[in-house]
Amino acid sequence: MQMRYKILLVLLLMLLLPNLSFFSLFAVTVPNFSFFSTGKQAEVPAKDSVPSVKDANGMEFVRIEPGKFVMGTAFGLDVSADEMPQHEVTISRSFYLGRYEVTQAQWEAVMGSNPSEFSGADHPVENVSWEEVQRFIGKLNDKAGGKRYRLPTEAEWEYAARAGTTTSRYWGEAVDTMERYAWYTENAGKRTRAVGQLQPNGWGLYDMLGNVWEWCQDWYGSKSYADGPVVDPQGPSEGSGRVLRGGSWSNYASFIRSAHRFELNPTYRRRNLGLRLLMEEKP
């Protein structure tokens, strides 16, 4: 090796070694911090291989068994304070969650009209407020027999979205593979897309991230993770906004995460707001 290259190599090592020591110290002193992808990733099932049931309305549901999971986020560059602290949550009862987001055809069959801005019978219904969603659910429940429909709680939603994973997204940490699983700014073409076109999570649920934000039942609480119950949490008893989860076609990758939280006034309607139904047995 020529002398000048040896000198350059020595200078480069002198610059890097102090920084490597700093990064090592940072990684040790910050809990749960890692420069590398960590956590359990999804095992993607074959398309529609997970068993499901259809209700009298033709809507398809997947049974979600009870269990425990770690809710929220420990650390990250794009993480909001309301996603912390991470805490263990128990979902004590099984429930059925929609395999897909509620479509425009399904909404129109119940409500007699379609409020969506992006037309498509098999596209998710959007431009619906939380309060309008409650009227839709009320009409379903009037004819539901032994079943009851509602929105999932925020904890039920994240439990189902994660499907046993602990990474920030149910396929892992990678952004470069996101287009296989979620419709977002880079691949959606500035609009919603038909449900069920991309790969599902490990429990056979489609579009849990991306396409449209999904209303949850809870009032939003910025500090509810710190002082809420850890068994079947319901969120605060009151508030000014309802929780939305999952991100949408109009969001960048940083919003497309299993733990990301958003909230809006329950009267607001937007062309990226939709829903996914939960079905359970009447008590």
- The structure tokens listed for 193 are 């897309």
Greater confidence (264 vs 14) lies with 264
Whether 252 has a pLDDT exceeding 60, the answer reads yes
- The structure tokens listed for 6 are 């040896």
The edge-to-edge listing of strands for the beta sheet with 278-281 is: 53-54, 60-64, 95-98, 278-281, 147-150
For 200, counting Cβ atoms within 10 Å of its Cβ (0-12 exposed, 13-18 middle, 19+ buried), the class is buried
Greater confidence (19 vs 7) lies with 7
Greater confidence (280 vs 4) lies with 280
**pLDDT tens, position by position, 186-222:** 999 999 999 999 999 999 999 999 999 999 999 999 9
Contacts of 192 (CB under 8 A, 6+ apart): 116, 118, 120, 123, 124, 126, 183, 211, 212, 249, 272
Looking only at Cα atoms, what is the longest distance across the chain?
85
Mean pLDDT in the chain?
87
Percent of the chain with pLDDT over 70: 82
Whether 223 has a pLDDT exceeding 80, the answer reads yes
Residue 6: which pLDDT band, with cuts at 50, 70 and 90?
Answer: very low
> From residue 249, how far is each of 8, 13, 146, 246 by CA, in Å?
48, 45, 35, 10
Closest CA to 232 of 222, 214, 218: 218
Q: How far apart are CA 181 and CA 164, in angstroms?
A: 16
> From residue 34, how far is each of 20, 26, 30 by CA, in Å?
14, 9, 9
Judged by average pLDDT, the poorest of 193-197, 208-212, 228-232, 259-263 is 228-232
**pLDDT tens, position by position, 96-135:** 999 999 999 999 999 999 999 999 999 999 999 999 999 9
Residue 230: which pLDDT band, with cuts at 50, 70 and 90?
Answer: very high
How many residues belong to the chain? 283
Whether 32 has a pLDDT exceeding 50, the answer reads no
